[in-house]
Structure 1
Amino acid sequence: MIFLIPTAMVLATANCYVAFYRNAEQLFRRSLISAAIVIFIFIAISTEALGLFNLINRIAIAAIWIVFNITLAIAWFRLKSIHGLTFAAIAERWLNGTRNFCRELGTFTVAMLAVLASVTLIVAVAAIPNNQDSLSYHLSRLGYWIQQGNVAHYASHIERSISFSPFSEYVHLHTFLLSGSERYFQLLQWCCLAGVLALVSMIIRLFSSTPATLRIGLCFAATLPIVVLESMTTQNDLVVAFFVLAAVFFIFDYIRNHHLASLYLIPLCCAVGMMTKGTFLFYVLPFGIYLFIAMVRKSAFRKHIITFVAAALILTLAVNVPYWYRTYEIFASPVGTLSSGNQNTFTGPADYISSVSKHTFLHLGFVSPGNRYNDFLLNQLQNLHAAMGIPLDVPRLGMPFKMNKLNFNEDFAHNFFGIWLIIFSIPLLIFTRLPKAAKWYGWLSFLSILVFCFFISYQTYGSRLHIPFFLLAAPVVGLTYGSVLPAWPARLLPFLLWIAALPFALLSSAHPFLSTKWFFEKIFPPINSALHLNIRIDAANLNLKQESVFYASPGRLFWGDHWPATEILLKQVNALNPQKIGFVFTEASFDYAYQFLLRKPGRTFAHVRVANPSQILEDPTFQPDVIIAEKNDGPGFDYHEKSYRLAMESDGKWLYVPSK
């Protein structure tokens, strides 16, 4: 039944084309992006609606997709008869547009992008999802939602799973129930990156028609290390980036071309963007203010202000309030409590400068002999803080600061070349002759990261939170460097970015296309030693030495070097053939990994002995046949009028069984 989703996508794209974009520029990309947003809003609303009636199951999900497809098909036949178009004619126009776009990019650039896209697509489909956050809370939600038939909150040791925004997981929920497989999970981020690249090209074309700007901007966006790595995961930073860039494109498209469809697609982006990740608001806020001012200033726009603002508020609240309310009932806060640790607490202007500087320096680190380059930069950052009279590391301003070297993990990889290109693009934006609207776009993009730095404190994994900014900056990089570079450097720059990105596509530390074990055991140690790079390549470095995803077992991909000990415990669990399994976890436990490896027809899971406010949601009638704990609860305990004793311990994991 998974074919229902691409069928809906094709029908929605055709409908958007006929209804809105028959005579527009970039007609295929516009139609595709608009259709994707319609599909996403359908998933968000239908999931909440079905959850109200406890209908989160395969039959109900398939039924609503069939109804949705029938509705789109009826709309298509009506539009087709009104405008006298056939699908073959539309497909031919789309194909011609795609050919022209590829011709404009050039064969070499298309080939580079195709190689990156192919490698990441293969990994996204072949690899078992094993990102640490996904194992803890992104994917673990699905099993409990399906088990209870709705998307209500449940008792959980992992607070993020019942407080962090759920939209990406709603998409995973639909693909899983329609296909019965996890193989489509990582395609969401990969497809959102494809959408982002389409949006980057569309934004660039609003301001420039030169091929150089398009090549540089697209290659910049496609080769960012953190973007390449995340496109193969089930995180949600590329998903939220898609909605950010879509909203921004529609804002500028409406202001420039007066497309009313663009204006009313913005509320859809806001509703689902906020449902994906709260950082959506920070990146879109400057552009939203710019749109409001433009609408107030121009009489042609003024008449739409009330309906637009009302649509944005009503739709955003309607889509998000149910989840916020469920979270508020548990934590007395609509966004939970864990996110409060990521917020800045300022006592003066120096604190804000500190936040901006640390977010910037997060990307400036790199490998160097004796680590001299990083030591120099760290010294400058410490001098800045000393001059301002504040310590570099203050708890109210985030985590202790650490200079990056080189990291192939999707949580910590940074954008070394990207940040330097952005820094040098700032003076170019000032002095290069660009359209006024392009300069406004550039300054608003830089303002967006300043807004982000005002609210969000420095974190060691902050690079992935910066993804929307770097992708917003891609058109700026394309426009500035494309305007000043001669022909051959303008062609060389995308190639150099591609060469730098290729190792991240092939050697991800979480799910490598090629074996990182071979690379870090045979190739890298002599380089590391000869150049005195001082990079740790032992097991403590996030299980850096991994087998290719084509050969590694799911357990190895989940737990790395800890898999043998975990396997012993799971074999013991299965030997007991339990129907009900209880979990006692920490916030960082791999909930989804346990579910994946222990899943059987009729078997149910639940978190037990929960210590946070969600404990009120524990089912008093649930009496587990076994309890797997990642906390030591001693030799035994009572739970729901049943006694349990410790049966075994393996590598920091405890198995409790009922006492006889």
Structure 2
Amino acid sequence: MILLVPLAMWLCTANCYLAFFKDGPQAFRRSVLASAIFLFFFIGAGTELLSAFNLINSYVVITAWLLFNVALIFISARLQGKHKLNLRSISRFWMQSGKAFFRKLGVFTIIILGSLALCTLIVAIVATPNNLDSLSYHLSRLGYWVQNGNVEHYASHIERAISFSPFSEYVHLHTYLLSGSDRYFQLAQWLSLAGILICVSLIVELFSASAVQLRIALVFAATLPIVVLESMTTQNDLMVAFFVIATAFYCFDFTQNRKPIAFLFLALAVAIGIMTKGTFVFYALPFGFYLLVFTLGRADLWKSLALLLAGTVVLVLLLNAPFWYRTHQIFGSPVGTMSNGNRNDIRRPADFISSLSKHTALHLGFVSPGNRYNQFLESRLTDLHAAMDVPLNRPGSGMPFKMNKLNFNEDFAHNFFGMWLILLSIPLLFFARLVPHAKWYALAAFCSYLIFCLFIGYQTYGSRLHIPFFVLAAPVMGLVYGSVMRAVPGKILLTILWLFALPFALLSVTHPLLSTRWFFENVFPPINNALNLHIHVGPGNANLMQESIIFSPPEKIIWGDHLAEIQNLTSFIESRNPQKIGFDLKEASYDYAFQYSLRKEGRIFEHVAVRNPSKVLENPAFKPDLILAEVYEGAAFDCHGQKYVLGFHTLDKWVYIPANNLK
């Protein structure tokens, strides 16, 4: 039944083409973008609607998608009759326009984009999800939602699972219920990157017809290390980046073409973007402000502006109000409390300069002989803070600062070449021949980064939070460097970006396509010694050395070096054949991983002995057959009126069993 999704995408694309874009430029890409936004809206609104009636189950979701496809077929038939076209002729036109677009890209650019897309697609499909945040809260939500038949909040030791924006997980929920498998989870991020590249191409073509500028922009976006790595995970940073850049596109598309239909997709993108991740607001704000100023200056657009504002408010509340209400009931805030520690405490201009410099320096570190390059940069950063009389690690400014070297993890990889290209493009912006709208776009993109650095403190994993800025900057990089480079220098730049990105597609720490063990045991040591890089690879970071996901069993991918311990744990649990398992976990627990290893037809999981405000949702009638704990509760403890005693333990996990049911 998972094929209902691509069928809906194809039908919706055809309908958008016939209804809105048939006679316009970039008709196919615009139709695909609009179709994706419509489908995302269907998922978001449909999930909340079904949840209100406790109908989150495979039968109802499959029925909903069948009805949705029937409706799309009916609409398609009406539109085909109106325009005297059929799906075959439409598809033939799409093929022709696709060939023209690929000719514009050129063979070399297609090889770059295609090679990265193929490597990451294989990993996204083959590898079992094992990202730390995904195991903790992104995916753990799904089991409880399906079990409960709704997406209401539930008692959980992991506050992020019931307070962080849920849209990307709604997408995973639908693919899981349609397919009965987790095989398609990581495709959401991979396809989000495809959508980002469509938006980048459309934005560049709003301002220029240059093939060189288009190629540089697309390759810049596709080769960012953090982007390459995240396209193979179940996180949500690429998905929110898609809605951010779609918002930016529709803002400037309207100012360029004045077609009101852009407002519909803009309002939808804003509503779903807010539902995806809170950082959406910081990056989208400058583009909304630009559109507001543009329309306020033209009296004939005031009515359209009023409709846009009203429609956006309605859609934002329609999609987000139910979740905000549920969260406020538990935490006293519609966005929970887990993100409070990331807020920046800015009291004077020097504090903002400190934040901006640390966020930027996060991407500038690299490997060098004796680590002298990083030491030099960090020394300059320290000097800057001393001159401003601001401590480098001032309280309220985020995590302690740390220079990156080279990281292949999707939480910590940084964009070394990307940030340097952005910094070097700033003076070039004053000399590059760009149309006025392109310069306004560049200003809005840079302002989005400034706003983010104003409100959010430095974090060691901040690179992935910067993804929306880097993809917003991609069209700017294409326009600037494409205007000052001829064909040969442009190809050299593309080659450098490609060669630097390929290792990230092949050697991810968490799910490598090629064996990282082979690399770190055979290739890296001679390089490390010859260049005096002082990078330690050994027992302390053994997880760097992984076998290829092609040859690794799913549980090995999830648990890594802890697999033997988990197998002993699950063997004991299975020996008791429990139907109801209680989880007594920590905030950073691998909740989904436990569900994955222990799930069984009819088995129920619930969190017990919860120690945060969601404890009010704990079900006192739930009497687990055993409790899996990551917190030592002593030799015995009471839970829901029943006494449990310690029956098994490993290094940092304990299993408690009912005292009246000892074996």
Give the AA of the match of 1:417: F
C-alpha deviation, 1:266, in angstroms: 0.6
Deviation at 1:533, TM superposition (A): 1.1
For 1:320, give the aligned amino acid: N
Structure 1 letter corresponding to 2:606:
A
Q: Which residue of 2 aligns with 1:42?
A: 42
> In structure 2, the residue corresponding to 1:541 is in which secondary structure?
helix
Contact 1:54/1:150 (8 A) holds in 2: yes
Name the structure 1 match of 2:143.
143
Q: Distance in 2 between matches of 1:390 and 1:538?
A: 37
Q: 2:69 corresponds to which residue?
A: 69
Matches within 5 A, 1:206-245: 206-245=206-245
Supply the distance in 2 between the matched residues of 1:537 and 1:203 (Cα, whole angstroms). 43
Distance in 2 between residues matched to 1:274 and 1:612, nearest whole Å: 25
Query: Distance between the aligned counterparts of 1:94 and 1:485, measured in 2?
Result: 31
Q: Does 1:306 align with 2:306?
A: yes
Instruction: State the partner residue of 2:498.
Output: 498
**Which residues of 2 match residues 319-338 of structure 1 at below 5 A?**
319-338=319-338
CA distance in 2, matches of 1:467, 1:540: 30
Task: Report the counterpart of residue 479 of structure 1 in structure 2.
Answer: 479
How big is the shift at 1:83?
Answer: 0.9
CA shift, 1:299, in A, is 3.0
Find the counterpart in structure 2 of residue 116 from structure 1.
Answer: 116
Matching residue's letter, 1:152:
E
Instruction: Output aligned runs, 1:557-596, within 5 Å.
Output: 557-596=557-596
Question: Is residue 409 of structure 2 the alignment partner of residue 406 of structure 1?
Answer: no
**Percent of matched pairs sharing the same residue:** 58
Question: CA offsets per residue over residues 487-517 of structure 1, 9 Å max, x none?
Answer: 2001111111001000000000000000101
After superposition, the C-alpha distances for 1:49-69 in whole angstroms (9 at most, x for unaligned) are 000000000011011111111
Q: C-alpha deviations, 1:583-624, integer Å up to 9, x for none?
A: 111111000000011110000001110010000101111111
Q: Please give the residue correspondences for 1:257-268 in structure 2 after superposition, counting only pairs within 5 Å.
A: 257-268=257-268
* Alpha-carbon separation, structure 2, partners of 1:279 and 1:508: 25
Alpha-carbon shift at residue 173 of structure 1 (Å): 0.3
Whole-angstrom CA distance in 2 between matches of 1:112 and 1:3: 29
Give the Cα separation in 2 of the matches to 1:510 and 1:376: 31
Q: Name the CA distance, whole Å, in 2 between partners of 1:35 and 1:87.
A: 16
1:441 aligns with 2:441: yes
Which deviations, in whole Å up to 9, do the C-alpha atoms of 1:339-367 show, x marking residues without a partner?
11110012211111111000000000000
Shift of 1:541: 3.1
CA shift for structure 1 position 390: 1.2
Deviation at 1:88, TM superposition (A): 1.0
Q: CA–CA distance in 2 between the matches of 1:215 and 1:540?
A: 42
- The residue matched to 1:605 in structure 2 has which SS? strand
1:178 is the counterpart of 2:178:
yes
For 1:647 and 1:245, the matched residues in 2 are separated by: 53
In 2, Cα distance between the equivalents of 1:485 and 1:12? 39
Q: Distance in 1 between matches of 2:608 and 2:432?
A: 62
Which one-letter code corresponds to 1:227 in the other structure?
V
For residue 627 of structure 1, give the secondary structure of its aligned residue in structure 2.
strand
CA drift at 1:539: 4.2
Matched, 1:91 2:98: no
Query: Contact 1:507–1:515 (CA<8 Å) still a contact in 2?
Result: yes
Deviation at 1:559, TM superposition (A): 2.2
Relative to structure 2, which stretch is displaced further, 566-575 or 137-146?
Answer: 566-575
C-alpha separation between the residues in 1 aligned to 2:555 and 2:183?
16
| Contact 2:260–2:304 (8 Å) recurs in 1 | no
Q: How many residues align?
A: 660
Q: What's the CA shift for 1:70?
A: 1.0
> What is the aligned partner in structure 2 of residue 418 from structure 1?
418
Q: Which residue matches 1:655?
A: 655
Contact kept? 2:196, 2:245, Cα under 8 Å: yes
Q: Which amino acid aligns with 1:350?
A: A
Cα distance in 1 between the residues matched to 2:434 and 2:542: 45
Please list the CA deviations of residues 501-560 of structure 1 after superposition, one character each: whole Å capped at 9, or x if unmatched.
000000000000001011111111121122121223224337111111111222222222
Q: Secondary structure at the match of 1:611?
A: coil
Decide whether the 8 Å contact of 2:192 with 2:242 is kept in 1.
Answer: yes
Q: Deviations over 1:275-325 (max 9, x none)?
A: 000111100100000001111112332221111100011111111010011
Aligned CA RMSD, in angstroms, stands at: 0.9
Preserved contact between residue 254 and residue 260 of structure 2 (Cα < 8 Å): yes
User: 1:597 matched to which residue of 2?
Assistant: 597
- 1:512 is aligned with what amino acid? P
Q: Give the equivalent residue in structure 2 for 1:126.
A: 126
Which is further off, 46-55 or 387-396? 387-396
The amino acid that maps onto 2:334 is P
Please name the residue that 1:622 is paired with.
622
Cα deviation for residue 632 of structure 1 reads 1.2
- Measured in 2, the distance between the counterparts of 1:472 and 1:292 equals 19
Render the CA deviation track for 1:201-259: whole Å, top value 9, x for unaligned: 11000111111101111000000000000000000000001101111111111110112
Q: Distance in 2 between matches of 1:298 and 1:567?
A: 67
Q: Is the 8 A contact 1:555 1:567 kept in 2?
A: no
Answering whether residue 640 of structure 2 is matched by residue 640 of structure 1, we say: yes
* Residue aligned with 1:396, SS: coil
Structure 2 CA distance, aligned partners of 1:255 and 1:499? Answer: 37
Secondary structure of the corresponding residue to residue 645 of structure 1: strand
Matching residue of 1:368 = 368
Secondary structure of the structure 2 residue equivalent to 1:523: helix
d(CA) in 2 for partners of 1:30, 1:280: 22
Structure 2 Cα separation of the partners of residues 539 and 216 of structure 1: 41
Q: Is the 8 A contact 1:539 1:545 kept in 2?
A: no
Under a length normalisation based on structure 2, what TM-score does the superposition of the two structures give? 0.99
Tell me the residue number matched to 1:190: 190
Structure 1 residue 651 displacement after superposition: 2.3
Deviation at 1:637, TM superposition (A): 0.4
Rounded Cα–Cα distance in structure 2 between residues aligned with 1:461 and 1:125:
25
Whole-angstrom distance in 2 between the partners of 1:314 and 1:414: 37
For 1:618, the aligned partner's letter is: E
Deviates more, 1:179-188 or 1:290-299: 290-299
User: 2-side partners of 1:91 and 1:598: how far apart?
Assistant: 46
Q: Which amino acid aligns with 1:141?
A: R
* 2:323 counterpart of 1:355: no
Residues 542 and 411 of structure 1: is their aligned pair in 2 closer, same or farther, counting only changes over 3 Å? farther
Stretches of structure 1 lacking an aligned partner (at least 5 in a row): none
1:352 and 1:453 in contact (8 A); partners too: yes
Distance in 2, Cα, partners of 1:408 & 1:20: 42
Q: 1:53: which partner in 2?
A: 53
1:175-210 deviations in Å (ceiling 9; x for gaps): 000000000000000001001001101100011111
Task: Decide whether aligned partners of structure 1 residues 542 and 73 sit closer, same or farther in structure 2, where only a CA change above 3 A counts.
Answer: farther
Distance 1:570 1:539 in 2: 26
TM-score (norm 1): 0.99
- In the alignment, the residues of structure 2 paired with residue 213 and residue 67 of structure 1 have an alpha-carbon distance, to the nearest angstrom, of 43
- Aligned residue number for residue 515 of structure 2: 515
> Partners of 2:529 and 2:575 in 1: how far apart?
48
Partner of 1:339: 339
Supply the distance in 1 between the matched residues of 2:220 and 2:423 (Cα, whole angstroms). Answer: 14
Counterpart amino acid of residue 417 in structure 2: F
Deviations, residues 560-587 of structure 1 (Å, cap 9, x unaligned): 2122112211111111110001111111
| Larger CA deviation: 156-165 vs 292-301 | 292-301
